[in-house]
Structure 1
Amino acid sequence: MAILFDKQTSRWLLQGKNVSYGLGVDKNGTLQHLYFGSKLPFVSDLPDVNTAIYHSSFEPSGGITQPEYPAWGGMYYYEPCLKATFSDHVRDTRLVYKEHQITENEQVDELVIVLQDTVYPLFVHLHYRLFPEHDVIERYAVIENTGTTPITLEQALSGSWHTPRGDRYRLTHLGGKWIEETQIYQDEITPGKKTLESRRGNTGAQANPWFAIDRGTADEDQGEVWFGALGWSGNWKITVEYNPFKLLQVSGGIHDFDFAWHLEGGKSFQTPAFVGGYTRLGFGQASRNFHDYQRNHVLPKPIAEQVRPVLYNSWEATYFDVTEQGQMALAERAAAIGVELFVVDDGWFGERHHDRAGLGDWTVNPVKFPNGLKPLIDKVESLGMRFGIWVEPEMVNPDSDLYRKNPDWIYHFPNRPRTESRNQCVLNVSKPEVQEFIFKMLDDLLSENNIDFIKWDMNRSFSEPGWPDAPQAIQKEIWVRHVQGLYDILARLRAKHPKVAFESCSGGGARIDLGIMRLTDEVWTSDNTEPYERLFIQEGYSLAYNAQTMMCWVADSAKWVKNRPAPVAYRFHSSMMGSLGIGGNLTQWSEEELAESTQLIEEYKSIRHIVQKGNQYRLLSPRKGNTTAVQYVTHDQSESVLFALMHPQKFQNPSPRIYLRGLKSDSLYKVTDIEEPISGSALMNRGIDVNLHADLASKLLKIREVK
């Protein structure tokens, strides 16, 4: 059994492959956190649930503890998971243990602990879903009102993670901005709070809902790491709080800013999943565990079981100047170099000749496509490729038929301006009629055309989040209802069109999280396609998310976002470390560039199963030294691939020796550029030289076990 319960001491022990998680009920009926760390064999190994730190009369009389799901009430002064106001205006919640249930399945075991308020008809069902093979736990809460009068939820987080009492903890997190997403930041944790958040209506590029905690000494290969991420694509927060008693908790969930949920009698509210894990083997193992969990239990089946195709997107070649003949010419070039999926981007619909008009009018432009999309789709398929298309369903231009017909379908407040950003406004997806419009539009598009791929974009954040014709009690629910509506539309579309793959995009990488990944097959990592800068974005991305989901384009050199000139091979090698896409204007590539691209795409197809499905090892960071090196290894350790890319070099210093990881020590491997087979032990301990010397030089090495 992966979940053990000791009835006599009211303690539970969740056991993964290498991790244990312990909790118990104290003498007051409060659910307390007891342990999160290396695997323990017995429930009796857990500490006494009634142990507390007593300090002075100025601190809570019950002592300093680690409540598992703290509610705001009594003398609790730290970040609560739950804050509620009852119908009689009482704003104090006291949760005690009521019952629990354990369910065992083949790949996941689940513990549900029910807490109840001591007076009011408020119940909290805490769900713990344990994935033992990956040492990962999913947590979420279902908050239930069993009474007849409403309860207002003012904060409803998914849960709190705790580390052992100690000091010198360090926080690793991801931040940035447009074209600089998922940058790695590391901060010493000192007493007080640090909040990572988005209040923009989407996940946001400024912070990503992922965190890692270590004792300040962990690296890629060693050291205790506690890590986690939220599965939510709207307003979120993760609060890291360290108190003077050296207790650390990380609380996360839907953001409480401008939030209130009107919980009617007989109704419940479910929080998003807050996923966490632990390892003693550093940031590298934390990432590999999390990557496998995502591929096996988050990404939609059966598409997730396949490798992602090589994609071409027409945006940077044509922008809004989309025509049937122009797209056909690009398709011919794309097919000739080995592309498998051809995607038409913005500009195919309505009066969409620029970004000032047409959003919301999702009908094929009759001038650009006189006979609809079918001739282009037929052409693409005749060339041996599949067809995809871009949409931005949550947005509308004021200059559109949709807006003129339904001006109140956007978020807005009376007596306030309707702010435009990128010449567009946000549709109120909280409205059922808006959800139905979006679903029908996309359902018709997919039903009437043979489309295999949808790029779903969202190019602006929220403003004036009002819903004037809704009851006052639910006005602040739009932040949640919008995301619920988005998820519902995607789920319905996937159920009706199961062969269609979806990509999540939001002004670059502003909607990347475990929530959107449950309903899409890949994400657009960043609008920044500059191959050197992408190394920093992709390194941060890999801390949290797997390579299969990371769309990476090879773009034109020295054009978009002031790219520095870079060789074709360097551009490809940078992009081959995820799901490969091509985004340049192929009609302007030379015959030599096209020939080299053809060879590199063919090489990628031979290794993509290793990159997309294998274990990733970050060997040399772009943040240190003059070379980036990233290795991928199949789970059976028989195949591996190494990417090495030199930065703009200084002082004629060569690239450093690279020490591989993840191979069988006593097996022989054949390595590209090395004449004789060499042992895994030698590759990992003696290392190899890739001999890069020039600016933006790069190399791809294949490593195969000699049978």
Structure 2
Amino acid sequence: MPIFEIDGKLWLLETKHQAYAIGFTEKGFLVNTYWGERLDNIRNYPLPRDHFASDSFDSEFETLPEEFPVLNGMKFVEPCLITRFFDGTRDLELDFEKFELDPQANFLRIYLSDSVYHFRVVLNFRVYEHEDIIEKWIEIENMDGVNDAIVKRIFSGNFCLGGEHDYRIIHTWGKWFNEMNISDDSLIHGKVVLESRRLTTSHHHNPSVIFYPNKICESHGEAYAISLGWSGNWKLVAEKNSLEKTRVTVGINDWDFELVLKPQQTFQTPPIYFSWTDQGIRAISHTFHNFIQSHLLPHPNKPRKVLYNSWEATFFNVNLVEQKKLAEMAAGVGVELFVVDDGWFHGRNSDQAGLGDWWHDAKKFPNGLQPLSDFVHQLGMDFGLWIEPEMVNPDSNLYRLHPDWVLHFDKRKQTLARNQCILNMAIPGVQEYLFEKIASLIEDNDIQFIKWDMNRNVSEPGWDREDGGSSCEIWVRYVEGVYSLWQRLAMAFPRVLWQTCSGGGGRIDTGIFRYADQAWLSDNTDPLKRIFIQEGYSLFYPALTMESWVTESGYENTPLDFRFLVSMSGVLGIGSNLLHWSDTEMKIAKKWIHVYKEHREIIQFGRQYRLISPRESEVSAIAYQNDDCSKGVLFVYNRKMESESQTVIIYPLMLERNKVYQFDGLENRQSGADWMQNGVPLVLSGFSALFVPYNML
């Protein structure tokens, strides 16, 4: 059993390799007593104990590892919850109320409450024993029968990292067209803050991070991983105080935030997924890849099809004749999914008009989209469509009818970005309109795939609420509206696969993957840049979700084979204008698509191994291997300018030591131990790439 309860005051949460212990001290504080390696005997876990003030300036809370600190007393640590009650009181005194344990569901609830202001906090934990993941989230309830309670901050949780180590943080940063750069930084005395204030997860930081003490590498070292499942404004604060204690709080960003809890009203935070390992960064990646595939993705076992997207071929000049030509050529090289991107809908001839009017453009498609859909299906491919449902152009029928549906302040001029405004997804009428339009598109045109885009960040986040509530709730209610619409569509059309896109990687997190099957992680498709972006993405997110296209970006420096091999390390797609490709290029495409399909199961569902990082060498390598270690593939990329061939040695540190393996193109048959010791010799020329399958004999 993964959850143990001792005397109603101590709880042990255990997965396959990690353990997390919480309990009440004698003074009644709920503390985290342990997070680390699972122990053999539950009696060996440390018990809760009270701490004491070191002087009149630093109270016991400076060192007390509270599980969920709130604003009260002589406490200066980062609180997870800040409230204001009807009489102006701005703190909480939470006492233990009860707990509920469901061993069948691996689920624990601990109830705390403030008896004076009738305010309840419920800490929720769910254990995924075999996946090595623990999930936690918070529910709050205003039990007052008369008065509102104002919530100024509500984070999903707090973590107290053990010991007095000099912790470091591994996270990703970037911007549009340059996402997922890996950074490894020290935690200073003070605070390190990562956040988004942009209404979405953002291109700039990602809410999945790793903390570690001492040293770490791919295969060795202790690491603590935290991932927030939220697709809106978020905030992570890592604080190392003057007494050498390190805490991490994470949740919905409290910037410009206010939540009004009416009497008897509740609110639930997004979940945090967390894990511990002593086996290095790779183990964290494997844990989260497996968990996302097993428990989050809507279609976890469905192979992702090779797709073609027509955007770069036509841009807004979409028409039936040219789309048919592209579809024929795509089918000829083995594409399985044909996606029409922006430009197909009413009045859409540029980015200045049309968003919001989600029906076909009668001039471009006089008989609707069905003839194109039928043609694509007759070619043996699925049919997909691009939409941007959260956006509206001022030049659209929807905006002229409902200008009040956009985020705005009545007395301020609206800021346009990409000539568009943002619809207020918190308004039920907006959700209903979009559901009807998108549902009609899917039903009428036999659509199997939707690319859901969002091409700007927020401005003027106003909301004229009919119920008189706080407009500062928009940061939460907007995201809840997106989730609600997406879930409703997914339930209505369970066979449709969905892609998350926000100008590339602006909305990638463990929250959106409850609804989206795959992600467009960057608008940058230059393979020399994409290698880095895809490495950062792989820290937490699996190849099954990583859509990657072959385009003309980088064609001056990198051959078509190289571009294909970079894209084949995820969900393979093509975005080039096939009408401009030569017969030779079409043959190359057909060859690599055939090879990809032969090995797709290993790439999409196998374990990924980052063997040589592009941050460390101009020659980089990754591998994918199935669970029983009997089959795998190597991808090797050489970014060096030299044209001369060279021999590089790749050390495949994922083989079974006592089994015999052979790598394609090499006559040697050696044990896994010998290959791992001696390496795999491969010959590479400048700006080239290799794809090397291998098998256990």
Given the two structures, how large is their TM-score scaled by the length of structure 1? 0.96
User: Which amino acid in structure 2 is aligned with residue 605 of structure 1?
Assistant: K
Preserved CA contact (<8 Å) 1:547 1:578: yes
Q: Are the aligned partners of 1:627 and 1:655 in contact in 2 as well (CA < 8 Å)?
A: no
Match of 1:191 in 2: 189
Asked whether 1:588 is paired with 2:585, we answer: no
Alignment of 1:500-519 (within 5 A): 500-519=496-515
Q: Please, which of 259, 264, 267 is the counterpart of residue 266 of structure 1?
A: 264
Whether contact under 8 Å (1:55, 1:63) holds in the other structure is no
Matched, 1:433 2:429: yes
Q: Determine the C-alpha separation between the residues in 1 that align with 2:647 and 2:122.
A: 54
Q: Which residue of 2 aligns with 1:221?
A: 219
Q: 2-side partners of 1:62 and 1:306: how far apart?
A: 49
8 Å Cα contact 2:62/2:75 also seen in 1 = no
- Distance apart, 1:165 and its partner CA: 1.7
Structure-1 separation of matches of 2:62 and 2:664: 62
| Alignment deviations for residues 396-425 of structure 1 (CA, whole Å, 9 cap, x no partner) | 000111111111110111221111000000
1:657 to 1:62, Cα distance in 2 relative to 1, 3 A: closer
After TM superposition, the structure 1 = structure 2 runs for residues 261-660 of structure 1, keeping only pairs within 5 Å, are 261-300=259-298, 303-558=299-554, 564-649=556-641, 654=646, 656-660=648-652
Q: Which amino acid aligns with 2:77?
A: Y
CA distance in 1 between counterparts of 2:109 and 2:41 reads: 20
Task: Describe the SS at the equivalent of 1:604.
Answer: helix
For residues 39-78 of structure 1, the aligned pairs below 5 Å read 39-52=38-51, 54-61=53-60, 64-78=63-77
Name the stretch that deviates more: 89-98 or 505-514.
Answer: 89-98
Shift of 1:160: 1.0
Task: Tell me whether 1:126 sits opposite 2:123 in the alignment.
Answer: yes
SS of residue paired to 1:305: coil
Within 5 Å, which residues of 2 pair with 1:197-212? Answer: 197-212=195-210
Measure, in 1, the Cα distance between the counterparts of 2:375 and 2:290. Answer: 38
Q: Secondary structure at the match of 1:289?
A: helix
Residue of structure 1 aligned with 2:138, choices 137, 141, 148: 141
Counterparts of 2:643 and 2:376 in 1: how far apart (Å)? 49
**Counterpart in the other structure of 1:698:** 689
Q: How far does residue 472 in structure 1 lie from its aligned partner after superposition? A: 4.5
> Partner of 1:174 in structure 2?
172
Please say if residues 191 and 237 of structure 2, whose CA atoms lie closer than 8 Å, have aligned partners that are also in contact: yes
Contact 1:626/1:655 (8 A) holds in 2: no
Amino acid at match of 1:4: F
- What is the CA-CA distance between 1:61 and the residue it aligns to? 4.9
C-alpha displacement of 1:650: 5.9
Tell me if structure 2 keeps the 8 A contact 1:79–1:251: yes
In 1, the alpha carbon distance for the partners of 2:610 and 2:81 equals 39
Hey, what's the Cα distance between the residues in 2 that align with 1:631 and 1:175?
A: 24
For 2:595 and 2:203, the matched residues in 1 are separated by 32
1:52 Cα deviation after fit:
2.3
The answer to whether the 8 A contact 2:642-2:685 is kept is no
Letter in 2 for 1:3: I
Describe the superposition over 1:434-454 as per-residue Cα deviations: whole angstroms up to 9, x where unpaired: 111111111111121200000
- Superposition deviation, residue 44 in structure 1: 2.3
Q: Deviations over 1:4-55 (max 9, x none)?
A: 11107x2211111111111110112211011111111333222231142642
For the 8 Å contact 1:646–1:655, the answer to whether it is kept is no
Task: Determine the C-alpha separation between the residues in 2 that align with 1:404 and 1:273.
Answer: 39
Distance in 1, matches of 2:691 and 2:661, equals 16
Cα distance in 1 for residues equivalent to 2:409 and 2:312: 37
1:133 counterpart SS class:
coil
Q: Distance in 2 between matches of 1:499 and 1:653?
A: 48
- In structure 2, what is the Cα distance between the partners aligned to 1:496 and 1:143? 31
| CA contact 1:31–1:96 (8 Å) conserved in 2 | no
- Are residues 470 and 565 of structure 1, via their aligned partners in 2, closer, same or farther at CA, if it must alter by over 3 Å? farther
Note the alpha carbon deviations across 1:299-321, whole angstroms, 9 max, x for none: 11xx2211100010000000000
Which moves more between the two structures, 366-375 or 470-479? 470-479
SS of 1:265's equivalent in the other structure is coil
Shift of 1:471: 4.5
Contact 2:570–2:604 (8 Å) recurs in 1: yes
Amino acid paired to 1:282: G
Q: Do 1:52 and 1:63's aligned partners in 2 also have CA atoms closer than 8 Å?
A: no
Q: Within 2, Cα distance between the matches of 1:654 and 1:545?
A: 33
Aligned-pair CA distance for 1:102: 1.7
| 3-state secondary structure, aligned to 2:681 | coil
Partner of 1:160: 158
Amino acid across the alignment from 1:121: H
Assess if the C-alpha contact under 8 Å between 1:53 and 1:63 holds in 2.
no
> 2:645 & 2:11 partners in 1: Cα distance?
56
Question: C-alpha distance in 2, partners of 1:252/1:61?
Answer: 22
1:538-581 deviation digits (Å, cap 9, x = unpaired): 000000111100100011254xxxx6431111001101111111
Number of aligned pairs? Answer: 696
How far did residue 75 of structure 1 move?
1.3
CA distance in 2, matches of 1:187, 1:484: 33
The amino acid that maps onto 2:227 is A
Contact map agreement 1:160 1:252 (CA 8 A) in 2: yes
Partners of 1:478 and 1:454 lie apart in 2 by 26
Correspondence for 2:240 among 221, 228, 242: 242
Distance 1:330 1:192, change over 3 A: same
Deviations 1:511-543 (A, max 9, x none): 001111100100111000001100100000000
Paired with 2:587 and 2:189, the residues of 1 have a C-alpha distance of 58
Which amino acid in structure 2 is aligned with residue 22 of structure 1? Answer: A
8 Å contact kept, 1:387–1:451: yes
- Tell me how far apart the structure 1 counterparts of residues 427 and 72 of structure 2 sit (CA, whole Å): 34
CA RMSD across the alignment: 1.4
Report the identity percentage: 42
Contact 2:179 2:203 in 1 (8 A): yes
Q: CA deviation at 1:163?
A: 1.3
Q: Counterpart of 1:7?
A: 7
Using the TM superposition, give the Cα deviation of residue 199 of structure 1 relative to its aligned residue in structure 2, in angstroms: 0.3
What SS class does the counterpart of residue 603 from structure 1 fall into? Answer: helix
In 2, the alpha carbon distance for the partners of 1:655 and 1:459 equals 44
Secondary structure (helix, strand or coil) at the match of 2:487 reads helix
The SS at the match of 1:691 is strand
CA distance in 2, matches of 1:424, 1:101: 48
1:3/1:109 contact within 8 Å kept: yes
Name the CA distance, whole Å, in 1 between partners of 2:267 and 2:683. Answer: 58
Contact 2:54–2:60 (8 Å) recurs in 1: no
Q: Which string of whole-angstrom CA distances, capped at 9 and with x for unpartnered residues, describes residues 197-221 of structure 1?
A: 0001011001111110011410001
Give 1:264 shift. Answer: 1.1
In the aligned structure 1, how far is the partner of 2:346 from the partner of 2:672?
A: 58
Asked if 2 retains the 8 angstrom alpha-carbon contact of 1:435 and 1:489, the reply is: yes
Structure 1 range deviating more: 389-398 or 63-72:
63-72
Q: Partner of 2:96: helix, strand, or coil? A: strand
Q: Is 26-35 or 653-662 further displaced after alignment?
A: 653-662
CA distance in 1, matches of 2:672, 2:153: 52
Gaps of 5+ in 1: none
Partner of 2:86: 87
Q: Is the 8 A contact 1:557 1:566 kept in 2?
A: no
8 A contact 2:643–2:685 mirrored in 1: no
- Counterpart of 2:377 in 1: which secondary structure? helix
Residue equivalent to 1:675:
667
Q: C-alpha separation between the residues in 2 aligned to 1:191 and 1:525?
A: 34
SS in 2 for 1:388: strand
